[in-house]
Amino acid sequence: MASQETIALAADHAGFRLKNVLKDEIEGAGYATLDCGTDGPESVDYPDFAHALVEALAQGRASRGVLVCGTGIGIAIAANRAPHIRAAVCHDVTTATLARAHNDANVIALGARIVGEEVARDCVRAFLTTPFAGGRHERRVAKLGQPAKPRKPANVPV
Ligand code: RB5
């Protein structure tokens, strides 16, 4: 039997309820999960939980991840500081599907105060099942893990 893919989840206080709903959804779809917290409504700092998930992926304890905060934005910014992370804030099936197909996103970030539970489930299902399209996207995605190369804009006088 093929080994089960493990999906890491992490959230702040604004996202922990939705994170738990999504954890059940992911396990129901046949994946293993790794819960990086938080587990309650006490106010916490979203970068701490993003970093726990980033570390889990770096160590190979999970291959992909789901992040949840109030908007999905802060926790995605925190995760995207790491070069091995491609975290996409998604609001619907289209963004979740294209984040996988075009960007090979390995993390989906959702806003618990922005999207409803059913939309979030749909997003995660699309994220889990959509393959990377490759082709013309390969070269662009490869550049995402490289440091920015400052270039002098052509139309700016020095
Ligand atoms: C917490 O109140 C909120 O700022 C956080 O969940 C998130 O939305 C930040 O981007």
Burial of 115: CB neighbours in 10 Å, binned 0-12, 13-18, 19+: buried
Task: Give the Cα separation of 52 and 10 in Å (integer).
Answer: 8
Ligand 1 centre distance from Cα of residue 10 (Å): 13
Identify the residues whose C-beta falls under 6 Å from ligand 1. 12, 14, 46, 69-71, 73-74
Ligand 1 centre distance from Cα of residue 74 (Å): 6
121 residue type, one letter: R
pLDDT bucket at 59, cuts 50 / 70 / 90: very high
**If you take atom 6 of ligand 1, which residue's CA is the nearest one?**
70
Q: What is the pLDDT of residue 2?
A: 61
SS (H, E, C) the chain: CCCCCEEEEEECCCCHHHHHHHHHHHHHCCCEEEECCCCCCCCCCHHHHHHHHHHHHHCCCCCEEEEEECCCHHHHHHHCCCCCCCEEECCCHHHHHHHHHCCCCCEEEEECCCCCHHHHHHHHHHHHHCCCCCCHHHHHHHHHCCCCCCCCCCCCCC
Rounded to an integer, the average pLDDT of 13-19 is: 98
137 is catalytic: no
Q: What is the pLDDT of residue 158?
A: 63
Nearest ligand 1 atom to the CA of 15 is 6
Question: What percentage of the chain has pLDDT greater than the value 70?
Answer: 96
Rounded to an integer, the average pLDDT of 70-89 is: 98
* Domain range 6-144, its CATH number among 3.40.220.10, 3.40.1400.10, 3.40.50.11860, 2.40.10.340: 3.40.1400.10
